[in-house]
Structure 1
Amino acid sequence: MFQENRGMGVQRLFAIADTSVLNVSLTTLLALIFAILLALVHLFGGQMRFLDVIPRSQWLSFAGGASVAYVFVHLLPELNQGQRTIEQTEGFAIAFLESHVYLVALLGLTVFYGLEHLVKVYRQNQHKLSGILSQGIFWLHIGSFSLYNLLIGYLLIHREEPGVESLLFFFIAMVLHFFVNDYGLREHHQDAYHRIGRWVLAGAILCGWAIGQATEISEAALAVLFAFLGGGIILNVIKEELPEERQSRFWAFALGATAYAGLLILG
């Protein structure tokens, strides 16, 4: 009798282990597929001519609204948990964040605002700048967004909330966000972006996924990365929606935000 119970217990443990391995494999495979799809947005986003219109395409405004909804409804509440994780971590290298993880979100917003301001000044004075300086501005902008994409690729593997459902919500928000980013970068850098920039950004996403496969960081560091990403998303969406010359579609932005917020809440 004892041998039978022990045998059944061992079988049950193996069954649980097999299920866990299957779930991990499915999540990893989906993360790779999603990373490839995100890369394809940069590679082929320019062929979607219906996005390149004034007034601003309703689809871009819808995508921007959904991206912001993800930050406010899903990501920011997770930062509360991330704040507690940081406070409970002894000897964490960036202990100054103990006051508030939202400082990192503010940093993300500020960094990308600074980049946008720099590129705007460059465009206004483009005729006065040397070729070397123009190339430097281009690579600074593309390099920064490459790190941004690298981070997103990494977070496809490691998120504060693991599982297929969390991955799916993250991917939907990011693919919509990538359409907004790709449009803005293509408008800024035009031919240089088409020849070089889009390939660099697509490669960065896949590199981020590969790094995520090979490495794993602490929960506290993960909270910091998500906070920085949240600040970056907010700025990168708002900067595309607010300029007057864009003639943005408020109703589409509001619809995107409402629809995706509702989906997140129901999920």
Structure 2
Amino acid sequence: MPAEIAVTALIAVLFSATHVAGPTLRFLQRTPRSIWLSAAGGVSVAYVFVHLLPELAAHQDTFGGEFEGGLLAEMESHIYLIALVGLSVFYGLDRLARTSARKAGTAGAARRPGTGVFWIHLTAFAGYNVLIGYLLLHREAADGRSLILYAIAMGLHFVVNDQGLRQQHGSTYDHRGRWILAAAPLIGWGIGLIGPAPTLLVSSLFAFLAGGVVLNVLKEELPEDRESRFFAFAAGAAIYAALLLASR
């Protein structure tokens, strides 16, 4: 256990470092979109679809047992409904930020979301980062292989999110937001030290995370103005999917 705590602490620090070092990664801050960001997005999505969702599906019976005798006991997709909630929440937040940005600024100037929307957006991502840090210690599968796969996928996902938020919120994010998001995975890891949550809650948190990962990756890849690299995204997804399948 002490060794696992030390390793997960190191990973949490590396997660934090992606936000601290974000402004220095200038090779990622360009259009057309960096092939490295597109490939990182592919890795994150592959992790969700090839590893995380199948793993969570194995725990669907846990939900049925908890809700036995009630209306929810008749449902067969509790896990996926929670993932849908995660996707929907972050879709709503992204739409809120984009709508606010369209209403702000003047023609020809960079348009940013309003201050209130910035803090709403940032608070949601801080909670998201806390969740990722917490799950370092309380994943569905607690073996070393699972930890490595999770760390790689989420570490790259942090890079994608950091660059996306920087592009969306500009200097406000660099001066304030990134420091809060850098602290969040460390806080989540610290909460994880208190003790494990019930299995049902851990499964729910992972499902919510899965939906959030899918939305947060695709919202960076799909807009036309990003000029994303499909082949880099597909290659990242294919290579990591193959790695996941080979490691089973």
Q: Could you list the runs of 5+ residues in structure 2 that have no partner in the other structure?
A: 107-112
Paired residues of 1:35 and 1:206 also in contact (CA < 8 A): yes
In the alignment, the residues of structure 1 paired with residue 128 and residue 101 of structure 2 have an alpha-carbon distance, to the nearest angstrom, of 22
CA deviation vs aligned residue, 1:217-258 (integer Å, no higher than 9, x gap): 111111100000000000000000011111111110011001
1:35 counterpart residue number: 12
* Alignment check: 8 A CA contact 1:154 1:209 kept: yes
Question: Are the aligned partners of 1:82 and 1:219 in contact in 2 as well (CA < 8 Å)?
Answer: no
- The residue correspondences of 1:74-85 to structure 2 (distance < 5 A) are 74-85=51-62
Distance in 2 of aligned mates of 1:118 and 1:145: 14
Unaligned 5+ segments in structure 1 are 1-23
2:31 aligned partner: 54
Which residue of structure 2 aligns with residue 180 of structure 1? 160
Q: Is residue 96 of structure 2 the alignment partner of residue 118 of structure 1?
A: yes
Please point out which of 111, 114, 120 is paired with 1:134. 114
**Is the Cα contact below 8 Å between 2:16 and 2:183 reproduced in 1?**
yes
| 1:87 equivalent among 54, 58, 64 | 64
Q: Which residue of 1 aligns with 2:80?
A: 102
- Corresponding residue for residue 140 of structure 2: 160
Shift of 1:156: 0.4
Contact 1:65 1:253 in 2 (8 A): yes
The number of residue pairs the alignment matches comes to: 240
Please state if 1:64 is matched with 2:44.
no
Richer in helix (by share):
1
Residues 194 and 160 of structure 1: CA distance in aligned 2, closer, same or farther (over 3 Å): same
How far the C-alpha of 1:134 sits from its partner, in A, is 2.0
Give RMSD over aligned pairs. Answer: 2.0
1:253 to 230, 233, 248: 233
Query: In 2, are the aligned partners of 1:105 and 1:231 still within 8 Å (CA)?
Result: yes
**C-alpha contact 1:86 1:98 (8 A) present in aligned 2:** no
Deviation at 1:84, TM superposition (A): 1.5
Query: Quick check: 1:83–1:98 contact (8 Å CA) kept in 2?
Result: no
Structure-2 change in CA distance of 1:96 and 1:215 (3 Å): farther
Contact 2:64 2:73 in 1 (8 A): no
Equivalent pair of 2:45/2:217 in contact (CA under 8 Å): yes
Identity of aligned residues (%): 48
Range 164-173 or range 214-223, more displaced: 214-223
Choose 76-85 or 49-58, whichever is displaced more.
76-85
Aligned equivalents of 2:223, 2:73: Cα separation in 1:
35
- Corresponding residue for 1:218? 198
TM-score where L is the length of structure 2: 0.92
Work out which of the residue numbers 171, 182, 200 in structure 2 matches 1:191. 171
What is the DSSP-based 3-state SS (H/G/I as helix, E as strand, rest coil) of the residue aligned with 1:127?
coil
What is the CA deviation profile of residues 146-190 of structure 1, one whole-angstrom value per residue up to 9, with x for unaligned ones?
Answer: 000010000001000011111110000001111110011011111
Distance 2:75 2:148 in 1: 30
Structure 2 CA distance for aligned equivalents of residues 265 and 97 of structure 1: 32
* Residue from 105, 108, 125 that aligns with 1:145: 125
Give the number of the structure whose alpha-carbon radius of gyration is greater. Answer: 1
Q: CA deviation at 1:96?
A: 7.1
The AA in structure 2 aligned to 1:184 is: G
Offset of residue 90 of structure 1: 5.8
Q: Could you tell me how far apart the structure 1 residues matched to 2:34 and 2:54 are? A: 30
Distance 1:213 1:71 in 2: 25
2:84 is paired with a residue whose SS is helix
